[in-house]
Amino acid sequence: MMKNRKIILGITGSIAAYKAAILLRSFIKKGAEVQVVMTPAAKEFITPLTLSTLSGKPVVSEFFSRRDGSWHSHVELGLWADALLIAPATASTIGKMANGIADNMLITTYLSCKAPVFIAPAMDMDMYAHPATQQNLERLRSFGNRIIEPIEGELASHLVGKGRMEEPERIADLLEDFFTSRNDLRKKKILITAGPTCEKIDPVRFIGNYSSGKMGFALAQACACRGAEVELIAGPVSLQVTHPLIRRTDVESANEMHAAATKLFPKMDAAILCAAVADYRPETPRESKIKREKDERLTLSFVRNEDIAATLGQIKRAGQVVVGFALETNNGIVHAKEKLKRKNLDMIVLNSLQDEGAGFRHDTNQVVMIDRKGEMTSVPLKNKRDVATDIITKLIASGYFHTDRPE
């Protein structure tokens, strides 16, 4: 699906530059036409000859490569491309991009580029975590650039942490997903909650549930693959996200998730509330570990948590969509319809623990979607990724995303 796509591959001065050869070869195998643009420092890590041989094109690095009056036009390159990918992107290049410091061919090409821009940072974990780098990345996101988050692993410093460039094969797949997606959610902003919440009893114990977060993460991926900007609020789970259009916020408790959701929701077009949020929390968490005493009973007092779905259903404005989830053990349809109405939702997705292979911990799910009119759409047991696609397709087909978001 990438056949004849035109990609500019920008390479900067990072030890991860050697991975650019693998990335370049992946693009060529997928049928893309690739033009490599290197910073001068990048040539210290990988030679232009290697990259030129793989791409079949001369590598562009300097504004003037000969003394005959010819020069490389960054404007023409920017207009030629279907996408610009900078991988690896150093902290220095990220800073220059964020502040328009056009002192090399790659940055001027970036500033002239009309196509979508993808950035794959690669640096030591402390450089990546530094407020200056994070501020620059945030600024680049605000410009519409897509950040391919680095992963955790062993770094060039031999330390282990977040800063390692995403693997080349994964980056190639992400760009292929971008070109093959329908982009019918482009410019939409969607809030998604996922996973469990943990309600603290004492410093070592909590009340929780069996949610793995797989359904919510699948929904985030499905929305991002169709062009939406996704704000994913995740409870304590071990899952990872790599799609550049997904921004993740990690929380622990129901109150933390409620605060994050209500803060983000006003700027969203829709909220899909898939998290298994605790309804109650211990009234007074102990400051020290509860010791096992002679008494055979331990009594805890609980108070009710804020209801995220009800809150968003109450404050939503015209054009905003709120989708809830209901996990039931009996009378599922009745309970789901009641919840839909009581919380002012636009649609609710019911899954039942009575259905084998559905619900918590499974890679599969089986759901019934119910809209405000009472219309029900059943999805048979299938992989949660496919269920997520069906849910998003249903929302789009029902016209929930036709209203433009107010600026």
List, in order, residues 6 or more apart from 126 with CB less than 8 Å away. 161
Cα dihedral 276, 277, 279, 281, rounded to 10, equals 130
In the residue annotation, 209 being an active-site residue is answered as: yes
Q: Which residues contact 22 (CB under 8 A, 6 or more apart)?
A: 168, 169
Under 8 Å between Cβ of 206 and 286: no
Neighbouring C-beta atoms of residue 162, cutoff 10 Å: 16
- Closest by CA to 243, choosing from 184, 171, 181, is 171
> What residues are paired with 29 via a beta bridge?
none
Give CA torsion, residues 218, 220, 223, 224, to 10 deg: -110
* Closest to 96 in 3D by CA, of 85, 83, 82, 109: 109
Which one of 99, 104, 183, 209 is the catalytic residue? Answer: 209
Number of Cα atoms under 13 Å in the Cβ half of residue 355: 22
CA quadruple 178, 182, 183, 188: dihedral positive or negative? negative
Q: What span, in angstroms and rounded, lies between the C-alpha atoms of 204 and 52?
A: 57
DSSP state for residue 290 in the 8-state scheme: P
For 124-143, give one letter per residue: b (16+ CB within 10 A) or e.
Answer: bbebbeeeebeebbeebbee
Helices (H), ranges, 81-235: 91-99, 105-112, 125-129, 131-142, 168-180, 214-225
**Cα–Cα distance, 235 to 233 (Å, whole number):** 7
- Write the CB contacts of 256 (distance below 8 Å, at least 6 apart in sequence): 197
Tokens of 303: 């108070």
Residue of 347, 192, 333 whose CA lies nearest to 257? 192
Q: Which residues carry out catalysis?
A: 209
